Amino acid sequence: MKPIVQISLDLTTIDEALETAAMALRAGVDWLEAGTPLLLAEGLHGVKKLREAFPGIPIVADLKTMDGGYLETEMMAKAGATHVVVMARAHAETIKVVVQAGRDFGVQVMGDNLGCPDMVAGAKWLEDLGCDFVIHHIGYDERRGIAAQGIRMPSPLDQLRDVVQAVRVPVQAVGGLSLEQAVQCPAFGAPLVVLGAPLTIDADSFKTADGDLESSLRLICQKVHAYGEVFR
């Protein structure tokens, strides 16, 4: 597949999410993500509002499903999501029913390997259970906790090539990437580039260097789309 730019709407009000999404699409973003904070704050209502405002645009619901997978997938599909996220640390049966619900309701499944003792094996397991995409994910708390111990903060780029080589489905890398690092993901063979919104250089300040989010995002989209190669 060709490189895709996805923006994660990690916001807590639907009005702000709609405004940010409109800006992102103007800048050239391909997919919208109803981030976990937005889903916690707005739930199905948030996904429905995004779908009403942006018909035809892929919407990822970052459910981070751990149980009750069939119903969660059905609900998000009916609200307008095109993709849902299930965790590798969930029981195999949960992943299986999410995949089945995806087939039943026409949504694709993204399997997230956050927290797996063996990240590469976790990615392969997700693929084996039928996930359409793999999210290679180093979590916020994990990164912060390790850094607080004076140890180098882990990055999804550390094992990204290994994950890409282990699976046949498209891979997305998530977790503490700078904008510059995110743009490099297609060079690692991972075509799905995800950016948090607000766009982050500093994970605590949630600002770009010059504060011009739309211009920064437009430049990122141009760089990612310029790869112009088809990845698996």
- CATH code at position 169: 3.20.20.70
- Assigned domain for 171 exists: yes
Give the domain range for residue 180: 4-225
Q: List pLDDT tens digits, range 59-83.
A: 999 999 999 999 999 999 999 999 9
What is the length of the chain? 232
pTM for the whole thing? 0.92
**More confident: 5 or 178:** 5
**For residue 230, is it within any domain?**
no
Task: Classify residue 113: in a domain, yes or no.
Answer: yes
Residue 137 resides in a domain: yes
Task: Note whether 50 and 19 are within 8 A (CB).
Answer: no
* Within-domain flag for 231: no
Give the closest residue to 173 by CA, choosing from 162, 86, 221, 125: 162
Q: Note whether residue 170 is domain-resident.
A: yes
For tokens 């989010």, the residue is: 213
Strand partners, 195: 7
Number of domains in the chain: 1
Dihedral-angle region of residue 92 (phi above 0 means left; psi in -120 to 50 means alpha; beta otherwise): alpha
Q: Please, where are the H alpha helices in the chain?
A: 14-27, 36-53, 69-79, 92-105, 119-128, 140-148, 160-166, 179-184, 213-225
Residue 12 lies inside a defined structural domain of this protein? yes
Model pLDDT for residues 185-217, shown as the tens digit of each residue: 999 999 999 998 655 444 444 344 456 778 888
Residue 196, both tokens? 């948090």
- Within a domain: residue 40? yes
229 near 2, Cβ under 8 Å?
A: yes
pLDDT at 152 (0 to 100): 85
d(CA 224, CA 85): 23
- Res 207: pLDDT: 45
